[in-house]
Amino acid sequence: MVSRVQAVRAAARMTMKIFFADPQWIIPAIIAPFIFTLVALLLFRNETGPLLLYAVLGGGLMGMWGTTVYGSGTSITFDRFNGTMEATLAAPVPLMWIIGGRVAWNTFIGVINGGIILVIGTLWFRTGISIANPLAFTFATVVTYVSLSSFGLMLATVYVLTRQGGFIMNSLEVPVYIATGTMFPVALLPLATQPVAFILGPTWGIEAIRKAAIAGYTGLATSYWTDIGILAIETAAYFAISFYLFGRVERLAKRNGTLEEY
Amino acid sequence: MQEAGEGSSAVDVKDLRREYVTRSFLKKTTKVTAALDGISLRVARGELFGLIGPNGAGKTTTIKILTTLLSPTSGSAKILDLDINKDMYEIRRRIGIVFGGERGLYNRVTAVENLKYFADLYGVPPSEITGRVKKMIEMVGLEGRENERVEKYSRGMKQRLHIAKALIHDPELVFLDEPTIGLDPGGARDIRNMVRGMKKDGKSIFLTTHNMFEADELCDRVAVISRGKIVALDTPAGLKKSAKDISVIELQTYGADANFVQRIEKIGGVTRVVADLDSERQSIRVQTEFPTEVLPTIVGLAGDVNIIDKSIREPTLEDAYLRLVEE
Ligand SMILES: Nc1ncnc2c1ncn2[C@@H]1O[C@H](COP(=O)(O)OP(=O)(O)OP(=O)(O)O)[C@@H](O)[C@H]1O
Ligand SMILES: [Mg+2]
């Protein structure tokens, strides 16, 4: 079978080229989550020190999340805009790898988006925000990126498996911000919602990022490496679920001759 | 009927059926359309095979099944001796598909970027991609325009790019669904020459068309499909021979109208009248087994209609085709 890595890379590259060729994508992908975040940041404008860093990081992470959720939808509906559904479905690589390449690019935009929000947030509040452990911070960010991609890949199938994909995604966005502790520490959430947070990989990514960034941060009672470990396991699970769901999507597409009808 | 020789085949289809189930808006009623009603055919390696038929006959459905995009409801098909259900990805890697039209290309990026993308998807080794893309651009005559966005391309240029895309991984078998539809005569001729070039390169080709001239000119053998069934399968010459019992009277007239055409239709022994009344000078074709008796009758009916030219000729592939699909 054809090299899947080659297909993933090609799909990511094509998504990037079209992203730059068509500026209208920048509005939902960057500007919208960005504005949303700035509003959230204003709520914290009187804070200083660790809590402010907490908030600014939360803003960045929200940017990452928003783009992932948005991007997972466009990764699979992309062909509808382009009229390339058949060409994509006819490729000699499983659909998951092509969509995977697109999700990888869209999530990457989310990370860039998070980075921009972080920098602007830092400049805006003009408090000397410093990252406690830059190396651990970077590592946690990269692992979170992979995890977000796997999560986005899984979400992408929802768009095909149900007509209400777009609606589900939109209604998911804010609860996910809250459940994963982007805005408030998970420990503060009602006990009933905590299990939801714990099965969402990015919860652990956010936790690890905060532990690395904020000196003396006490979130969940886990260690940095425990967070990373759980994140890795959940990411693997998302990939496995995606693999299964994409298999179903492909079989359905073949049965109906199109992806467009459900 | 002529059959492809025994041995390894490019396409081998047995009793293929495909139904489409459409549900009404409220899902209260379901309608089942039999798009393919049990078709069987074989295409030999290196053969240029044509599937011709009117709108809705099942041509695209056939191509979609053979290219593993659609599952058949029943029946079996082997592509390059591989099973369409079991060896889907292997088949896809070894075939090229031209669906054509405005769809199927990334319009926001250039031709080169499109070709590189598809080269990657089809597993062309990365070190060979640049050379392969260049070769394809030259082959389809897009040099000089290859770094323009595809959205600026004319319909004909897009179709060339579709061909380049389908051949980027040097497939053994190429499927083309109505490759010249919507092109001007020059553009259509260029595409036909490219199809001939593919055959010369040893590729097997399976194409669909509406255009009898195209089928006659290009194809080694032709299957005529009508309402999901193959109604004839032969060489173009063989199909024409099957229509030997009919002749065609061709008339060029001034002043002919629908009424005149109706009167010709009523003449005994006339099986079909095809008329083009839109221009100042009308052309009317009359199919009949008895041209020498029918022609004087028509002349006798002419009245005010000025017949400026009349001739009797042998049936073309189109005459044979029209009779088959309307039976
Ligand atoms: N997705 C679909 N759902 C329901 N019916 C379909 C679908 N696709 C095709 N059909 C029906 O199946 C039959 C065959 O269609 P098909 O597209 O294969 O014909 P075709 O020979 O390619 O026609 P054309 O010359 O118009 O392209 C038609 O009656 C068509 O209406
Ligand atoms: Mg068709």
For each successive 10 residues of chain B (327 residues), what is the average pLDDT? 64 95 74 92 97 94 95 96 95 92 88 97 95 96 94 93 96 96 91 96 95 92 95 92 84 91 90 87 90 90 89 84 79
How would residue A19 be classed by pLDDT, with cut points 50, 70 and 90? confident
A148-206: pLDDT as tens digits = 899 889 988 877 776 665 666 666 666 666 666 665 665 666 666 666 667 777 788 88
Of the bound ligands, which one is closest to the alpha carbon of residue B35?
Answer: 1
- Residue B123 has its nearest CB partner, among A6, A21, A22, at A6
Residue B235 and residue B179 share a domain: yes
pLDDT of residue A86: 86
For residue B59, the CA-to-ligand 1 centroid distance in Å is 8
Last-in-domain residue among B219, B241, B263: B241
pLDDT of residue B2: 47
CB A41 within 8 A of CB A55: yes
Residue B19 and residue B164 share a domain: yes
- Whole-angstrom Cα distance, residue B3 to residue A121? 74
pLDDT of residue B168: 97
- Whole-angstrom Cα distance, residue B249 to residue B274? 10
For the cut 50, the answer to whether the pLDDT of residue A262 exceeds it is: no
Residue B274 and residue B208 share a domain: no
- For chain A, report the end-to-end CA distance as a whole number of angstroms: 29
What are B35's two structure tokens?
Answer: 């798009």
Residue B130 and residue B29 share a domain: yes
Residue B252 and residue B233 share a domain: no
How would residue A1 be classed by pLDDT, with cut points 50, 70 and 90? low
Interface touch A6/B120, C-beta < 8 Å? yes
Residue B101 and residue B144 share a domain: yes
For residue B259, the CA-to-ligand 2 centroid distance in Å is 34
What are A42's two structure tokens?
Answer: 């204003």
Last-in-domain residue among B241, B274, B301: B241
Q: Looking at the domain assignment, is residue B3 inside a domain? A: no
- From the CB of B193, is ligand 1 less than 6 Å away? no
CATH number of the domain where residue B156 is located: 3.40.50.300
Residue B285 is which amino acid?
A: R
Interface touch A82/B116, C-beta < 8 Å? no
CATH number of the domain where residue B275 is located: 3.30.70.260
Q: Looking at the domain assignment, is residue B262 inside a domain? A: yes
Residue nearest to atom 5 of ligand 1 (CA): B20
- Whole-angstrom Cα distance, residue A119 to residue B53? 63
Residue B153 and residue B63 share a domain: yes
Residue A128 forms contact with B (CB below 8 Å): no
pTM greater than 0.90: no
Residue B301 and residue B221 share a domain: no
Residue B258 and residue B151 share a domain: no
What are A247's two structure tokens?
Answer: 């298999």
Last-in-domain residue among B241, B258, B287: B241
Pairing verdict, β B74-79 and B82-83: antiparallel
- Residue B120 has its nearest CB partner, among A7, A21, A257, at A7
For residue B212, the CA-to-ligand 2 centroid distance in Å is 16
- From the CB of B60, is ligand 1 less than 6 Å away? yes
Residue B259 and residue B203 share a domain: no
Residue B114 and residue B237 share a domain: yes
Residue B153 and residue B95 share a domain: yes
Q: Looking at the domain assignment, is residue B104 inside a domain? A: yes
Q: Looking at the domain assignment, is residue B91 inside a domain? A: yes
Neighbours of A233 (CB within 10 A): 12
Q: Looking at the domain assignment, is residue B4 inside a domain? A: no
Q: Looking at the domain assignment, is residue B2 inside a domain? A: no
The full 3-state SS of B170-199, as one line of letters, equals CCCEEEEECCCCCCCHHHHHHHHHHHHHHH
Q: C-alpha distances in angstroms, B220 versus A132, B3, B48, B49?
A: 75, 11, 5, 6
Domain span including residue B296: 247-326
Helix (H) / strand (E) element for A48: namely: none
Looking at the DSSP bridge assignments, the partners of residue B34 are B19
Burial (0-12, 13-18, 19+ Cβ within 10 Å), B59: buried
Query: What is the best residue among B16, B31, B36, B59 to mutate for testing ligand 1's pocket, by most ligand atoms within 8 Å of CB?
Result: B59
Residue B110 DSSP code: B
What are A23's two structure tokens?
Answer: 């500026």
Task: Report which of residues A120 and A166 the model is more confident about.
Answer: A120
Query: What is the number of structural domains in chain B?
Result: 2
Query: What is the best residue among B17, B18, B33, B70 to mutate for testing ligand 1's pocket, by most ligand atoms within 8 Å of CB?
Result: B33
A197-254: pLDDT as tens digits = 677 777 888 889 888 888 877 777 789 999 999 999 999 999 999 999 999 988 988 8
